[in-house]
Amino acid sequence: MKIVSSARASKAADLTGIGCFEDAKVLLEGAASLPAPVRETVRRTLDKKKFSGKAGESFFIPLTPKTGGSILLLGLGKKEKFTLEKVRRAASKLLSQAKLFRHESVRFDVDSFARGFSDAETAAAAVEGFRLADYHFGKYKSRPSPAASVAEVELVSPGRGKALARAVAEAEIVSEGVIFTRNLMNEPANVMTPARLARAAKEMAAKNGLLCKILGPAEIRRLKMGGVLGVAQGSVNPPQFIILENRAHRSARPVVLAGKGITFDSGGISIKPSGDMDKMKFDMGGAAAVIGAMKVIANLKLPVHVIGLAPAAENMPGSTAQRPGDILTCLNGKTVEVLNTDAEGRLILADALSYAKRYKPRALVDIATLTGSCGSFFGDIASGVMGTDPDLIRRLIAAGERTGERCWELPLWDEYFELIRATYADVQNTSRKASGAITAGMFLKEFADHTPSWAHLDIAGTAWADNPRPLSAIGATGVGVRLLVELVKSYL
């Protein structure tokens, strides 16, 4: 991946991607840097009205003696609806076409995409598109399928300033963090146990200058984290509690990020149906996102004090497993009546949110693959967000729009608490009625009441892909990493 100024882009790449908007009058508005023969070839194609520039549309113009390389026109839709996510998806499509035709070099004409955004922002989005679309997890294939690859990507821009180079370098760091998270999530549950997740976090921290502390079963028991202990007691794999901290402005009140780390969720005694249960290895997606975000925050050297908390446990139906009807006492002293052992993620997050009190957070955000109902509501398009601070919710939604990891607010009205008011304890871990995603958020609110600025992200529908997406293969998406990093940037 390299930056090339338009003046130096003399030798033709195997495939050049050009962004085109839907309005016929501006289809080639941003491609002024292209050589005259290339522009003429493209213009003749457009005159035949074979391509309109609608979002997601593409048109391939094969290699000719005049152009010296093939062209891929990439539709961006209407200018007023243009976003950086369309740049990422265009880069993804350009890469897939290059692989299809076995091209070794690709050129991305940054200027043709930079409308409403700077060249630096556009190039950074393109880098994310290329890197994230190029990911695949083939670690356990004994005979990996030979995959087509692209040797070189040129980001062609009129200038090569420091801002552009810095933006591209930062996009590489962010993409690396997402890939790190995807690798954690895609590991099978017999490998990625709570202890292995803790070790991976500790190794990452050592390499990236983060402080790391791991609380083992004895320490968790001493602190009386009844939620973590209750979930973990049916498994032979003991729980862990991961604490990561960057060294920036440690005297300032921190932004605290907490992620659910259920390394496998069988449902416990309230066992899940067998169909798709293999995907429950992804139930540590919140913890993986926090760990990946902390890696990025460290490498970007963001001058914001950030702490990451990741309680990790395995939810299994062993002979010592908790039962429906059991009552737990969490770290903050509140009691929980367990009606359904498959509503376990909120139990370990209850202890994590309670633990965060000692830091007096500036803002507290938890992220979790928490409820199937949230996935049913938003599908794989957006994550649900709830919270007590309108400013924090605004920051998260804005970060989602900027990164393409969109989220939408759900209400946490007081009336919803009546659905989780327990008969024999302070609160019950699930509602007997509907509103599963909201009542899960309401449950967590009971353990974040020490902090005025708290928000909950439910990524149950976005954390993994059953089918390939523009920026991810089947499996873990790494959602949350870019969103959380962008949130932290908003506090600079």
The pLDDT value recorded for residue 458 is 98
The pLDDT value recorded for residue 281 is 98
> Tens digits of per-residue pLDDT, 402-459?
999 999 999 999 999 999 999 999 999 999 888 899 999 999 999 999 999 999 999 9
Euclidean distance between CA atoms 254 and 11, whole angstroms? 50
Maximum average pLDDT range among 95-104, 136-145, 199-208:
199-208
Q: Is the pLDDT of residue 30 over 60?
A: no
116 — pLDDT class (breaks 50, 70, 90): confident
Q: Is the pLDDT of residue 201 over 60?
A: yes
Q: Is the pLDDT of residue 54 over 70?
A: yes
Interaxial angle between packed helices 481-489 and 390-403, expressed in degrees from 0 to 180 and rounded to the nearest 10: 120
Predicted TM-score (pTM) of this structure: 0.96
The bridge status of strand 58-61 relative to strand 70-75 is antiparallel
The pLDDT value recorded for residue 64 is 66
The dihedral sign for the CA sequence 478, 483, 486, 490: negative
> Tens digits of per-residue pLDDT, 364-398?
999 999 999 999 999 999 999 999 999 999 999 99
Residues paired with residue 368 on neighbouring β-strands, in sequence order: 458
347-356 mean pLDDT: 98
286-305 mean pLDDT: 98
Point out the residues that are catalytic: 272, 346
Residues in the chain: 492
Q: Is the pLDDT of residue 61 over 60?
A: yes
Of 29-33, 101-105, 133-137, 417-421, the one with minimum mean pLDDT is: 29-33
28-32 mean pLDDT: 60
Share of the chain above pLDDT 70, in %: 94
217 — pLDDT class (breaks 50, 70, 90): very high
Q: Is the pLDDT of residue 248 over 90?
A: no
The pLDDT value recorded for residue 260 is 98
Q: Which residue in the block uniquely carries the two structure tokens 């880098």?
A: 127
Of 104-113, 296-305, 351-360, 421-430, the one with minimum mean pLDDT is: 104-113
The pLDDT value recorded for residue 70 is 87
The mean of the pLDDT values for the chain is: 92
